[in-house]
Structure 1
Amino acid sequence: MQGSSTAWSTFRSFARDREVAKQRLRPGTVSRVAAYARPYARQLVLFLLLTAVAGGTVVATPLLMKAIIDEGVVPGNSQVVVALALALAVLALVEAVLTLAQRWFSARIGEGLIFDLRTEVFAHVQRMSLAFFTRTQTGALISRLNTDVIGAQRALTTTLSTVVSNVISLVLVLGTMLVLSWQITLLLLLLLPVFVVPAKIFGRKLAAITRESMRLDAEMSALMTERFTVGGAMLVKLYGRPEDEVRQFSDRAARVRDIGVVSAMYSRIFFTGLTLVAALATAVVYGVGGTLAIDGALELGTLVALATLLTRLYGPLTALSNVHVDIMTALVSFDRVFEVLDLRPSITEPVAPRLLPEPAGDQPGLAVQFDQVSFRYPRPDEVSLASLESVAVAEPNAQANEAVHAPVVRPHPGGEDLSSGGAISQADGAGGPAANDTDVVLRQLSFTAEPGEMVALVGPSGAGKTTVTHLVARLYDPGSGTVRLGGVDVRELDSASLRAAVGVVTQEAHLLHDTVAGNLRYAHPEASDAELYAALRSARLGSLLEELPDGLDTVVGDRGYRLSGGEKQRLAIARLLLKQPAVVVLDEATAHLDAESEQAVQQALTAALRGRTSLVIAHRLATVREADRILVLDGGRIVEQGTHEELLRGGGLYAELYRTQFALQE
């Protein structure tokens, strides 16, 4: 055999799932792959030329060895021996240089392709709507950016070079051996099925073991991921039983250990089989060839050359016997990347984007208007892929194994409104099919929040309050009707202009695993330290700043877990204050604050939001009383509106909510 690298490459090829060869690629996949390769066409040509030259050198060494023996050693010509030995050394140097050059071109092309695909997929995913992320499993999406992109890259480097090199090597080696001794060559070819047929059968078992090993590794990794996050660790410490946790992990780790032993033995048997076949073939060469050499029918140098060429024959033959699996594995990886790129975002940039008008007078606020707005959340097939909702399991050596198997889709439980804590359900987006009446979240909703007005949204869980705020920020588009900001349809606005105008603080403020300054500057990258300090003091975080060990450079931890719930919320509010948007959306923004902190932040918000338009979802009476107007939502409609006192006198739904929700607060 050609050595351990060839043996390992052959083993890896046979360990891949042969079912991948049965996959049907979408039309145009190969032409799209060619389009991605086009920018690297010149480098690819040079890479393939180097591969071809390197493949051609496989017969040069044995032939030089033949010449050294037959023309130098046997006749006793030392000058010929020295000259050919030097040529052999030069050839070895040339092969080393070719290997390095191949590796350089392979890395340049491969890493360039990875960069192109990753950046394109990442940019495309960034344009997807919020509905896409509520359904997509993060692990499956990351797998497309890592496992499948790397698998696709190998189609243009490893697989392509292997095929070219093996074909050239096989043709040259086989042709040379036939010229040297066609009798021995045919005899050696008769031995090929002795290895290939068992290897095919053995490969099926290897693929099954590989799949099982990946599944067990994924289960163990999932367990560690759940337990090693801050939230998971807290849950275990509060409710878990350490002995049971260790036992559960030990059981999974034991199965990983057992399958690892089986896999190691199978791989060793595979390599041993390769060695035995090579040894058997070598014995045939020296047995038959040695007899012919003694009888004078074969030169001694020819015998040595045949034995050397033999080591370079079975490797390419066995690799090429499984090349269709390698090629299809790489193409399926490309196809899975294209599947994500072909998923169209439901929120698109307008063809001729408009800018928001400048606020009138001294007030920075802009009017928010809902005009006969109806909405349903999109169905899974409208915003996501079934394969991205299943657990992603990566194939060894960066090959995508889960593409082979039909995904098991576990749909989210239904729910009308994110404010209820439920998952996004079906949709009534623009252009979508008609929905059942029960799917509709908002029904012909109309209201206007005037510039500088604070409008509170109240109502039972699932009434559509959070949906209203999502439409203002254009996280979704209405199925019918229009949402206007400053008199302009939000679907016609430049996305950067819209983001700058609308600021949102949700109930669960998300903080990056970054410093305090990094989290604040996410809203305003050019902000000075003085502005950061001012925003923190306005959010009543001045005392915290004095306690932080590194001030603004203090790392807040994963999702801000180094801070208390109230501190996280106030930091998110400071981020909002730093942005200074024209329209502010507060979705239970003070829910995690104690009474004292809430009062302090309310004062900060009152000052900061003066003159700005604000939509506030609140279950706290203090927040509701501050509102200029209260909209009471139920079943996706506004059933009441007015001030706190007016609605109490009305004796309707708000009065009932007041008795059950606000009375104790008062």
Structure 2
Amino acid sequence: MPTATPATDPVSRTLPVATTASVRAHTRGLLTRHRSAIVRVVAMHAVAALAALVAPRVIGLLVDEITGHRSIAVVNRLALWIAVAVVVQTVLTWFARRASFVMGETIFAELREQFMSRVVGLPLSTVERAGTGDLVSRTTNDVEALSHVLRFGIPAVFVGSVTTAITLVAAFATGWLVALPVVVGAPLLWASTRRYLRLAPAGYLRERATYAVLGGVVTESTEGARTVDALGLGRRRRRRMDAALADCYDAELYTLRLRMRWFPAVEVAFYLPVAATLLWGGWLITNDLATAGTVTAVALYVQQMAGPLDELISWLDEVQVGATSLARVIGVGDVPPDRSATGEVPADDRLTVDGAHYAYRSGRDVLKGVSLDLRPGERLAIVGPSGAGKSTLGRLMAGIDGPRAGRVDVGGVRLVDLELAQLRGQVALVTQEHHVFVGSLADNLRLARPAASDDELRDALAAVDALGWADRLPEHLGTVVGSGGHRLSEPQAQQLALARLVLADPHTLVLDEATSLLDPRAARHLERSLAAVVDGRTVVAIAHRLMTAHDADRVCVIEDGLVSEIGSHHELLEANGAYAALWRSWRDEREPAHG
């Protein structure tokens, strides 16, 4: 019996999973949209199943002919009928299965396109909270499992269902009295299958969720290998991976035990009717209640049902996996939108933060009532100790997240009330993390403005002092970069991200330690290049190096989720408060390096 799900169960930390009702509704919608194809496939399998009924019936007649010492010509004619029936059945089955595969591919293509459109539309805040492991697991493991079921399982279910039903009717039509034992295995089959279907969905859901957690742990450990090595966290990460593997093992062991209890009962239920039919048929022949040919034909029908019924039941297990994967795939669409556009147009470019509170966990605010009023065109540096809430404030000011309480507005309109495309024309965020997509350099730049001309792309590169190395690439703007293509250095990748900002042309830029991963000379060079580009724009710089704050118009100091100081660099040094302490500490750290 399944155990209670602990509070730390990975299911609770993943993206939403669709309810059973949602899965059924989605499935009904698919069946409705593809009704004509399904009817055609079922009809083709029915015809193939009817052709398969000829051979057992003719064999029964052949037995009666032989036992009745009929003409050899009749026997030969019946044998020819059997050969023709087998050939016709083979041809019809091939065409029926081909139609099933085409239908499965068509339905899968529709589901895959729906899934990808939902994935790319997920709010960034939701993806970050869930982690990449769950999303990658759904994109790979779940889509693959769903593909397997739709391509092969659904056709097998059609074949098994139609063939079993028609063969059962044929058995009773041939000799209803002889066919009575066919129901002997039904109670055992019903009870064992009902128990399995009751317990399997939760088991497979937990299994898939553990795969997502394991994938996340492996991805984090791989991407952060240098950090793990530098901080000596190897043993801790190994323990974390071992724990994730143990969860996977327990989940798989549970579903394996379900199958080990179910399959033997199913096998007995399949072959018990065959034995019972032969015994019962022998008694009927002895008492002249049935002929040997009729018993032979019915026994062959019952035996013939075992194959498709076995395939149907065995695929039922795969269908459970597919149904779980379908729930996870369509569950992505249950993620609520992080904004609801009101259609309001900002009156101006002024960005304001009014009493903003934000919490990643209920009851534990990271920001505790922050208020800021940015003057259009000014450069504001946000500084503070690690964990003070600087990056969180930057995300709110870029519209990535909305505050739990309070407002973040541009021109009197809340950022979360703007359409995403409209928002990106107002405020843009660039962080330490940047990605070079597989494609040409021009394609990477046009992500920010699809209609940009080559001249505009070159101007954007020139603005961030990247045109020189771009022109030295083998195919210039047409050079393929990203995984498997020309490798860009870290400074070049950062400049590419900044060039996208130039093309997007927002009036406000939020730079969250955008140059902190580069060496000091490269970072300083980028900041000087960017200074000319952002002239006339509002710039919010989440500062890691305090030299950024030195160049800013104003400096905002965040401590423990609150604004403790705000003013120019010189004003805050004269105030001799938190900023002055940070500045002295930073200068003291730099002096030995220059000594």
TM-score normalised over the length of structure 1? 0.67
Match of 2:352 in 1: 370
After superposition, residues 347-358 of structure 1 pair within 5 angstroms as 347-350=339-342, 353-355=343-345
Separation in 1 of the partners of 2:448 and 2:579? 36
Which of 372, 377, 402 lines up with 1:446 in the alignment?
Answer: 372
Match of 2:124 in 1: 130
Is the partner of 2:341 in helix, strand or coil? coil
Match of 2:526 in 1: 601
Residue 596 of structure 1, CA deviation: 2.6
Which of 172, 176, 179 lines up with 2:169 in the alignment?
Answer: 172
Separation in 2 of the partners of 1:57 and 1:619? 77
Residue 52 of structure 1, CA deviation: 3.6
Structure 1 residues 281 and 167: CA distance shift in structure 2, 3 A? closer
8 A contact 2:339–2:417 mirrored in 1: no
8 A contact 1:454–1:628 mirrored in 2: yes
After superposition, residues 225-304 of structure 1 pair within 5 angstroms as 225-226=218-219, 229=222, 231-232=224-225, 301-302=293-294, 304=296
Match of 1:489 in 2: 414
Structure 1 residues 649 and 99: CA distance shift in structure 2, 3 A? same
Separation in 2 of the partners of 1:84 and 1:292? 25
Structure 1 residues 237 and 93: CA distance shift in structure 2, 3 A? farther
Structure 1 residues 137 and 170: CA distance shift in structure 2, 3 A? farther
Which of 92, 96, 107 lines up with 2:101 in the alignment?
Answer: 107
After superposition, residues 150-549 of structure 1 pair within 5 angstroms as 151=146, 154=150, 157-158=154-155, 161=158, 164-165=161-162, 167-169=164-166, 171-176=168-173, 178-179=175-176, 182=177, 185=179, 192=185, 225-226=218-219, 229=222, 231-232=224-225, 301-302=293-294, 304-315=296-307, 334-337=326-329, 339-350=331-342, 353-355=343-345, 367-377=349-359, 424-426=360-362, 436=363, 438-450=364-376, 452-541=377-466, 544-545=469-470
8 A contact 1:449–1:455 mirrored in 2: no
Unaligned segments of structure 1, at least 5 residues: 1-16, 358-365, 378-423, 427-435
Structure 1 residues 233 and 291: CA distance shift in structure 2, 3 A? farther
Residue 131 of structure 1, CA deviation: 2.8
TM-score normalised over the length of structure 2? 0.74
Work out whether 1:48 is the aligned partner of 2:42: yes
Residue 133 of structure 1, CA deviation: 1.4
Supply the RMSD in Å over aligned alpha carbons. Answer: 5.3
Residue 344 of structure 1, CA deviation: 1.7
8 A contact 2:133–2:212 mirrored in 1: no
Amino acid of the structure 1 residue aligned with 2:169: L
8 A contact 2:163–2:305 mirrored in 1: no
Structure 1 residues 658 and 561: CA distance shift in structure 2, 3 A? farther
The share of aligned pairs that are identical, in percent, is 29
Is the partner of 2:34 in helix, strand or coil? helix
Structure 1 residues 496 and 293: CA distance shift in structure 2, 3 A? same
Unaligned segments of structure 2, at least 5 residues: 5-16
Separation in 1 of the partners of 2:26 and 2:190? 35
Separation in 2 of the partners of 1:518 and 1:160? 44
8 A contact 2:338–2:416 mirrored in 1: no
Is the partner of 1:124 in helix, strand or coil? helix
Structure 1 residues 228 and 312: CA distance shift in structure 2, 3 A? farther
8 A contact 2:48–2:89 mirrored in 1: yes
Structure 1 residues 524 and 197: CA distance shift in structure 2, 3 A? closer
Match of 1:386 in 2: none
8 A contact 1:621–1:665 mirrored in 2: no
Separation in 2 of the partners of 1:611 and 1:77? 105
Separation in 2 of the partners of 1:605 and 1:29? 50
Separation in 1 of the partners of 2:175 and 2:318? 29
Is the partner of 1:165 in helix, strand or coil? helix
Amino acid of the structure 2 residue aligned with 1:30: R
Tell me the number of residue pairs that the alignment of Structure 1 and Structure 2 aligns: 563
Separation in 2 of the partners of 1:201 and 1:157? 20
Is the partner of 1:313 in helix, strand or coil? helix
Separation in 2 of the partners of 1:656 and 1:492? 39
Separation in 2 of the partners of 1:283 and 1:128? 57
Match of 1:648 in 2: 573
Match of 1:628 in 2: 553
Residue 490 of structure 1, CA deviation: 2.4
Residue 194 of structure 1, CA deviation: 12
Which of 482, 485, 490 lines up with 1:556 in the alignment?
Answer: 482
Residue 618 of structure 1, CA deviation: 1.4
Is the partner of 1:631 in helix, strand or coil? strand
